[in-house]
Amino acid sequence: MVLDESGVLTHLRRGVLEYCILAMVDVEPLYGLEIARRLGEHDILLQSEGTLYPLLARLRRQGLVETSQVKSTSGPPRRYYALTAEGRSALATFRSTWSTFRSAVDSAMTGEQRS
């Protein structure tokens, strides 16, 4: 089976999107639409908002994010997502692994060998 560009992106997103979200809410609590907008700045990260909300619900169930309701001046209350201590630990683990992983992939793609 050969994947087209869309299929490759789907596989790559599946592995890193949750950590991108954890990194975003580590900086400041954000509501769902703001997370979608920020991810949307990089067209490659978020295929549709429809995939975001189930992921946010899963992160919440796993205890990696917590939510709070905040009144909005322009509509219904917004659900803000913030990182928990467990989420911060998961993000730290990803960050420490990501650099090494990215370097290994870059080396494999360019044919470089480590000495």
In a domain, 88, yes or no: yes
In a domain, 110, yes or no: no
Give the residue-averaged pLDDT of 16-20: 92
In a domain, 40, yes or no: yes
The pLDDT value recorded for residue 8 is: 76
Tell me the per-residue pLDDT of 26-60, one tens digit each, with 9 for 90 and over. Answer: 999 999 999 999 998 877 787 777 889 999 999 99
Closest CA to 40 of 71, 17, 72, 59: 17
In the chain, how many domains are there? 1
Helix (H, G, I), strand (E, B) or coil at 31: strand
For CA atoms 80, 82, 86, 88, give the dihedral sign.
positive
What DSSP element (H or E) covers 114?
A: none
- Show the domain range for 45: 16-102
DSSP codes, 54-92: HHHHHHHHTTSEEEEEEEETTEEEEEEEEE-HHHHHHHH
Q: How far is Cα 18 from Cα 114, in angstroms, rounded to an integer?
A: 30
Confidence (pTM): 0.84
In a domain, 72, yes or no: yes
What DSSP element (H or E) covers 30?
A: strand 30-31
